A and B are shown apart, each in its own frame.
Chain A
Amino acid sequence: MTEMKTDTTETTAVSLKLAELFRRLRPDPQDLVLYSAFIILIIAFSLLSPVFFSATNFQNIGRQTAMVSIMAVGMTFVIVSGQIDLSVGSIVALSSMVAAMAMRDVGGGWVTGALVALSVGALTGFVNGALTNWLKIPSFLVTLGTLGVARGIALLLTDTRPVIVNEPRYQRLFGDGHFFGIPAPIFWTIIIVVVGIMWLQRTVFGRKVYATGGNAEAARFSGIAVNKVRIIALTLSGLTAGMAGMIFSARAHAARPVIGEGMELDVIAAVILGGTSLFGGKGTIVGAFIGSLIIGVLNNGLNLTGVPSAAQLALKGVLIIGAVAFGRR
């Protein structure tokens, strides 16, 4: 490693280090486009807004993006296995609502909350997987259906009213607290991203996910139970959505039946931005994580630079299409 000269600005020094780190992580030229886009965004917002480039703001971005980052991990399994999950936004609402009601009515504190949120998420994901693979309905349709069903149930539970979460430990563990000085949502994001990377990239199951998405027929002929792989992938996506629901209700001190609306699109955009093929068989969790950070940085930076929200929406769309088009060349 060459030594950094003092005349380089702090910004470029950090981005150079990041670039080097990412190059070592995965030296695919296509991914470099993604990483450059990320770095260019950071540089651009740093120049445009005086408060953007600061530890406090980066923590903000991390907290705001945690839900999307966590769900992007599950979604990567789903998309790499050749499926899609449109229901994650609704699962966030359903799992956090049920968990909040369980903590209020059953007691048991954060343990109940966490168990219920994760179980509801995983169960909904499993139902997605079972319907997709046992009834042979495309995952697009099944999860489009559960998008409505899960949201509908979440709204019906309390007749659209929010449920207050009054469990200090739950709030600390998943929302307001810190682990080793790291805000809880960021801590959990890191844990889940690292577990996701190991699981998809290093395990037999991960290989089977790639094989199933790459060519399901050849995978089946190689002795892989492709249905099982696909069901587990959708279950994982539900599980991460349940986790995101916990993060939300812990931060907001309440569960609301309308949260997560449209969030599936941010999650899918993050995964695709990260270089995962929408047709399956190819993609990484690292990419999906960076993809979610790009979306987080965009949201945060556009807010800080005072772009009106309508324009933000349009600009975000343009940037996403642009980044993908550029990366795919």
Chain B
Amino acid sequence: MSRDRFEPHDGEDREPPALLSVRGVVKRFGAVTALASIDLDVRGGEIHALLGQNGAGKSTLVKVISGVHQPDEGTLSIDGVPMLFADPNEARDAGIASVYQELSLIPTLSVAANIFLGREITRFGLTDSRAMQTEAQRRCDELGLDIPGTNVEVRSLPFAQRQLVEIVKALSVDARIFILDEPTSSLSPGEQEALFAAVRVLRDRGAAVIYITHRLKEVFDLSDRVTVISDAEIVARYETAETDMDSLVAAITGAKQGKGEGRLRLGNETFGNRSSNVPVLVARGLCNIKLRGADLEVYPGEVVGIAGLRGSGRSSLLRALFGIDRLDEGEITVEGHPLRLRSPKDAMAAGLAFVPEDRTTEGLILGHGLSANISLTQLDDLSSCGIVNAGDIRARAHEAIDQLLIKAPSTSALMTTVSGGNQQKVVFAKWMQTSPKVFLADEPMAGVDVGAKVEIAAVIGRLAAGGAGVVVVSGEFEDLLDLCDRIVVFSGGRGIENIDPSLIKSENELHTIVQDLEFHALVPDRELVP
């Protein structure tokens, strides 16, 4: 490994030498070029943001850096020493730590066991679970991660907390280069701050941090430099302090959008308001383990946002409305007809649709093709006498591809081969085809790029304009403000406040309101519990 073939490249005058240096990296998958001659320098002691639309090549690039993929051409060097990683273990040994979008935790092992997986603390040759638990707890505390205990199994944790464990795991490795791929996509604002603090500590220790995100705000909050990838090539490099939001959006979308169009709002003509004064969905006094007397009314043609902190019951509300979580009390009516929900099937029959929080485990069958996934909700419609009509299924898929601008090589393309934004569009497509009266969406924008976000916002607008009542849950308050006609703040398992988004000036204002309400709402609840 010590053969010194590193050639300092001419022309560029870089004061701090790069810790990680990528030169002319090319990666092809069959006929598709995922990376076309990428050059990237990441210095020690910097946070380097990597931006780009889904499918632009960001994930491929970090997979090359972390040894998951091997480049077809070009070199990687660390401290000027060329490296070739045959697998992720070699990259890890060379000091590269990664947090992936897809969780790499083992669900049946405890939090502590996961954090120390592969480098267990041992005592007399046996694993010392107590020491690992103590140490894991310390690291969780450092990151402000609030979990029931480090000896609980990862599978018992909610999705967002699993991601936090993943982050703790990666950050506690003794590494010099850290790759964080959309680490905040399911974190609450407080957890994000804790994560940012931890990342800054890493930087100040001299580590190089590659930070992939779709949230431009984070770029400005956190990063020192930015690189934008589009269509397998690097299209822009900036010092973060010397650029602005609009330039970044322009670079990411290939300047397809002009100034100020990075926002989602599509104008009033797209976002219908109530098209009727009779609510399409009424929920009264919903109670279960997470909900405490939640009420909700949704009118045709409106987009209702559910804001709230995690654990406020915002996701539980949708799961209960869709018949996934059992209700102990409460009643739900759709167009005046009371529902008895025993399963999602009943909810679907009543005209409800649901885009779940985690598209890879709940929304899609990843190993199946696009048309198979889209047709799943309309099999009865696409068949006669129980025999499916393959032609109709393909036609539906083509229709969806055209309507939602899904980028996929064919109608039979496996879901594992398309990007996150396109996966999400497929989940939307499979429900739009059922012409639902009420459309429920949990975190519909999580982990999708700016371009796909705008398109998904347009889809939500179209659903509402078509007369459906839409309910959107999101931890991204900015998205809620842009999308919704009305926002209901959830806390302690019920809606506690209705907000008109046009009266809210900024995302931060909404955060403040939500946190305030949460605080006040918690006080009486505490008194209820002896």
Contact = CB atoms under 8 A, between A and B. Distances in A.
Contacts of B380: 204
A206 B372 CA distance: 12
Contact of A223 (B345, B356, B386): B345
B361 interface: yes
Interface string A190-233: 00000000100011111110110011011111111100000000
A224 B345 CA distance: 6
Interface residues of B, number: 30
Given A221-B354, A225-B345, A204 B383 contact: yes
B383 A203 contact: yes
Given A204-B379, A204-B386, A207-B388, A218 B365 contact: yes
A221 B365 contact: no
B467 to A, nearest CB: 21
A221 B383 CA distance: 20
B376 A215 contact: no
B344 interface: yes
Contacts, number: 78
Contacts of A225: 343, 345
B368 A221 contact: no
Contacts of B379: 204, 207-208
A282 interface: yes
B324 A214 contact: no
Given A202-B388, A203-B387, A215-B361, A222 B366 contact: no
A255 to B, nearest CB: 35
Contacts of B343: 220, 223, 225
A203 B385 CA distance: 9
A206 B382 CA distance: 13
A81 to B, nearest CB: 13
A214 B344 contact: no
Interface in B304-349: 322, 324, 343-345, 347-349
Given A210-B368, A218-B361, A282-B367, A224 B388 contact: no
Nearest to A212: B365
A217 B361 contact: yes
Nearest to B347: A223
A121 interface: no
Contact of A222 (B361, B376, B387, B388): B376
Nearest to B384: A204
B285 interface: no
Interface string B1-32: 00000000000000000000000000000000
Contacts of A282: 367
A281 interface: yes
A281 B415 CA distance: 13
Nearest to A225: B345
Contacts of B388: 202-204, 206-207
Contacts of B322: 221
Interface in A119-138: none
A202 B380 CA distance: 13
B474 interface: no
B323 to A, nearest CB: 9
Contact of B365 (A204, A205, A215): A215
A206 B376 CA distance: 11
A297 B379 CA distance: 39
A222 B430 contact: yes
A280 to B, nearest CB: 9
B377 interface: yes
A281 B365 contact: yes
Most chain B beta-carbon neighbours within 10 Å: one of A203, A208, A222: A222
A58 B345 CA distance: 48
A45 to B, nearest CB: 36
Contact of B387 (A202, A214, A220, A224): A202
Of listed B322, B361, B364, B367, residue having the most chain A CB within 10 A:
B367
Contacts of A202: 387-388, 390
B375 interface: yes
A215 B363 CA distance: 9
Contacts of B509: none
B386 A221 contact: no
B500 interface: no
Contacts of B368: 210-211, 214, 281
Contacts of B375: 207
B367 A221 contact: no
Contacts of B324: 220-221
B261 interface: no
A222 B343 CA distance: 10
B399 interface: no
A220 to B, nearest CB: 6
A220 B376 contact: no
B146 interface: no
Contacts of B239: none
B72 interface: no
Nearest to A223: B348
A210 B363 contact: no
A217 B365 CA distance: 9
Contact of A214 (B348, B363, B365, B430): B365
B392 interface: no
B360 to A, nearest CB: 9
Contacts of A217: 361-362
Interface of B: 322, 324, 343-345, 347-349, 354, 356, 361-368, 372, 375-377, 379-380, 383, 386-388, 390, 430
Which 7 A-B pairs rank lowest in CB-CB distance, beginning with the nearest?
A214-B365, A223-B348, A215-B365, A204-B379, A222-B376, A223-B345, A203-B386
28 contacts: A202-B388, A203-B386, A204-B379, A204-B387, A207-B375, A207-B376, A207-B388, A211-B365, A211-B372, A214-B368, A218-B361, A218-B362, A218-B363, A218-B365, A219-B376, A220-B324, A220-B343, A221-B322, A221-B344, A221-B354, A221-B363, A222-B344, A222-B430, A223-B343, A223-B348, A224-B345, A225-B343, A281-B367
Given A217-B361, A220-B344, A221-B344, 16 more contacts: A205-B386, A207-B372, A208-B379, A215-B364, A215-B367, A217-B362, A218-B364, A218-B365, A221-B354, A221-B363, A222-B344, A222-B376, A223-B344, A223-B345, A224-B345, A281-B367
